[in-house]
């Protein structure tokens, strides 16, 4: 059942009335709001309270919107977990949106009382939300600001500020409609394993320990793992991310990213007297070793992978003259070697298992004596996450993959889900979830790439539960207990 918008006052309801949106008048003040809430509880529909409100802090201005992360009412604080997705939908409309607690007061707030409410940490105040916040189904609250601490009610300009608030409410309608259509009962299907792998945990810990032991700044060549949130957090701790070691001051502490580097990069780091701490995943190092062994004895190596990916650049750097990158089955069908009897193949660790196998089988057919890994070079974490998302995709209407756009293994999870015929989207965090994707999606699968922090998944789950997908089941396709030792510089 889609949601309804509840507007306390007639003027607010009029601003919100547009095709496709069910708008009810809830009445002004807590008493009338309580009566409306009782009626809505019986109807069991998701409720979005929308109206005007007063700002409590100076940077929330007339015409801005405040989306409540929680309602602070007489009976305590009630969280409204779908708020980040509603805020993101409103921001996509170009509106100025603040995300934070809203206080719900029994009467109009001004003067000293406004200051008292502000001290609670709330951004805005209204008089009705507390009555709706505790309803059993999904609830959201958005308030368009008309008065502020320095421009209180009943001062010159109130009418204009009121109009500006009502204009914002009207402009918000497309996003409110999206929320109403996205809200509804359903289930979350968590794929397991998901999120951090052992190589990523090790790489992050290396940077953290380097900062502790050697002090900031610690330079990191390239993104230590391909995740914007991880990079931002480490930057806040004092890590400085660079593209090339040439940008690092001589002698400085420098971490090499998890994806591995070409020997030329190590040589350049040595030439600058850098204290190098290598965060290359041991499973990437294993592929480097295989490739070195093959090329060392004169073989041509077909490296199955994406030519512009950092891991592949690093591996190719082991012997650029003897390594040929093969990106797809079509390329495998035409690739050549100086001596077809002396060939081998290896793989990027984060490919789609089925695609890589298809490419390898073309190579094996064309070069019967070709040597390669016993099964593949795709690491345990990539394989397990793909297996788990496959199972979940078979049951889901939509799969959400948490990960950054430059993360190969995360992108592969999206593709694997889509190959099962299921809609799938990659999101860096909840703010990238478009409410329109969720309309009609009763069963939503969730996974995360090996570089995506687990707390982002937890936040996504909370948000979707706030939209009504309250049941959570987990499909476990493998147990992971892999742990890698740390390099001696930080152990
Ligand atoms: O999936 P890719 O290789 O893009 O990298 P990531 O997202 O940083 O995940 C961790 C893998 C690191 C090296 O295999
Ligand atoms: Fe290592 Fe695999 Fe994780 Fe890459 S995805 S860091 S190869 S465990």
Please state the domain extents for the chain. Answer: 4-182, 187-194+380-476, 198-281, 283-366
Specify the residue with its C-alpha closest to ligand 2, atom 8.
199
For a pocket test of ligand 1, which of 195, 222, 225, 383 has the largest count of ligand atoms closer than 8 A to its C-beta?
A: 225
Name the band, by pLDDT with cuts 50, 70 and 90, for residue 152: confident
**Which residue numbers belong to the known binding site for [4Fe-4S] cluster?**
197, 281, 379
| 197 pocket-lining for ligand 2 (C-beta < 6 Å) | yes
Binding site per annotation, positions: 197, 226, 259, 281, 309, 349, 379, 407-409, 451
What distance in Å separates the CA atoms of residue 288 and residue 240, rounded to the nearest whole number? Answer: 27
Same fold, 187-194+380-476 and 283-366: yes
State pTM to two decimals: 0.96
For residue 284, the ligand 2 atom closest to its alpha carbon is 7
The arrangement of secondary structure in 283-366, i.e. its CATH architecture, is 3-Layer(aba) Sandwich (3.40)
Whether 154 has a pLDDT exceeding 80, the answer reads no
CATH of domain 187-194+380-476: 3.40.1010.20
Instruction: Note the CATH number of domain 198-281.
Output: 3.40.50.11270
Mutation probe of ligand 1 site: the residue of 350, 428, 453 with most atoms within 8 A of C-beta: 350
Q: How far apart are CA 108 and CA 113, in angstroms?
A: 9
Question: Among all ligands shown, which has an atom nearest to the Cα of 193?
Answer: 2
**Percentage of the chain surpassing pLDDT 70?**
100
Q: Which CATH superfamily is domain 4-182 in?
A: Nucleoside phosphorylase domain (3.40.50.1580)
pLDDT of residue 356: 98
User: Which residues are part of the catalytic machinery?
Assistant: 311
Query: Binding site for dimethylallyl diphosphate: what residues are annotated?
Result: 226, 259, 309, 407-409, 451
| 78 neighbors 34 (Cβ within 8 angstroms) | no
- What mean pLDDT do residues 249-277 have? 98
Of the residues 284, 373, 404, which should be mutated to test ligand 2's pocket, given the most ligand atoms within 8 Å of the CB? Answer: 284
Which of 125, 57, 47 minimizes the C-alpha distance to 86? 47
303-343 per-position pLDDT tens digit: 999 999 999 999 999 999 999 999 999 999 999 999 999 99
Dihedral sign from CA coordinates of 369, 370, 371, 373: negative
What is the helix, strand, coil percentage profile of the chain, to 5? 40, 20, 35
CA of 429 to the centre of ligand 2 (A): 21
Distance 228 CA to ligand 1 centre (A): 12
Rounded-to-integer distance, Cα 108 and Cα 110, Å: 7
- Cα 333 to middle of ligand 1, angstroms: 27
Does residue 369 surpass a pLDDT of 80? Answer: yes
Closest CA to ligand 2's atom 6: 199
Q: Per-residue pLDDT averaged across 187-198, rounded?
A: 98
Note the pLDDT tens digit of each residue in 85-135.
Answer: 999 999 999 999 999 999 999 988 888 889 999 999 999 999 999 999 999
Give percent above pLDDT 90 in the chain.
94
pLDDT at 415: 98
Residue 63 CA: distances (Å) to CA of 93, 104, 141, 291, 304: 14, 19, 16, 61, 54
């Amino acid at each position: 059942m889609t949601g309804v918008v509840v507007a306390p006052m007639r003027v607010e309801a009029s601003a919100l009335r547009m095709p496709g949106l069910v708008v009810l008048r809830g009445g002004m003040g807590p008493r009338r709001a309580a009566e409306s809430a009782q009626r809505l509880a019986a109807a069991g529909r998701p409720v979005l309270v929308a109206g005007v409100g007063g700002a409590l802090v100076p940077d929330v201005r007339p015409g801005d919107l405040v989306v409540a992360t929680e309602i602070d009412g007489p009976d305590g604080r009630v969280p409204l977990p779908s708020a980040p997705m509603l805020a993101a939908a409103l921001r996509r409309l170009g509106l100025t949106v603040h995300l934070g607690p809203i206080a719900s007061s029994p009467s109009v707030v001004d003067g000293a009382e406004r200051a008292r409410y502000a001290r609670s940490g709330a951004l805005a105040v209204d008089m009705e939300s507390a009555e709706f916040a505790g309803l059993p189904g999904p609830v959201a609250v958005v308030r368009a600001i008309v008065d502020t601490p320095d421009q209180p009610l009943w001062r010159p300009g109130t009418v204009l500020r009121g109009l500006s608030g009502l204009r914002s409410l009207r402009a918000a309608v497309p996003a409110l409609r999206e929320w109403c259509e996205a809200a509804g009962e359903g289930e979350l299907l968590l794929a397991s394993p998901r999120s951090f792998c052992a190589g990523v945990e090790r790489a992050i810990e290396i940077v953290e320990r380097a900062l502790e032991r050697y002090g900031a700044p610690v330079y990191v060549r390239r993104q230590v793992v391909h995740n914007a949130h991880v990079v931002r957090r480490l930057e806040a701790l004092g890590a400085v991310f660079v593209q090339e070691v040439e940008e690092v001051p001589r002698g400085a502490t420098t971490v090499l990213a998890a994806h591995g580097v070409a020997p030329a990069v190590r040589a350049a780091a040595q030439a600058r007297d850098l204290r190098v701490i290598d965060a290359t995943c041991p499973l990437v190092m294993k592929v480097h070793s295989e490739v070195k062994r093959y090329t060392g004895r004169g073989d041509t190596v077909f490296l199955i992978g994406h030519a512009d990916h950092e891991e592949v650049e690093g591996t190719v750097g082991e012997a650029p003259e003897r390594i040929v990158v093969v990106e797809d089955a079509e390329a495998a069908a035409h690739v050549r070697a100086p001596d077809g009897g002396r060939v081998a193949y290896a793989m990027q660790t984060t490919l789609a298992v089925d695609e890589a196998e298809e490419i390898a089988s073309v190579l094996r057919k064309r070069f019967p004596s070709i040597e390669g890994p016993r099964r593949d070079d795709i690491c345990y974490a990539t394989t397990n996450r793909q297996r788990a998302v496959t199972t979940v995709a078979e049951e889901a209407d939509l799969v959400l993959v948490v990960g950054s756009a430059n993360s190969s293994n995360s992108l592969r999870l999206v593709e694997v889900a889509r190959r099962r015929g299921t809609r799938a989207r990659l999101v860096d965090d909840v703010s990238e979830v478009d409410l329109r994707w969720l309309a009609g999606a009763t069963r939503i699968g969730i996974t995360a790439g090996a570089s995506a922090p687990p707390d982002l998944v937890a936040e996504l789950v909370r948000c979707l539960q706030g939209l009504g997908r309250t049941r959570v089941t987990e499909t476990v396709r493998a147990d992971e207990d892999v742990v890698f030792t740390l390099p001696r510089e930080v152990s």
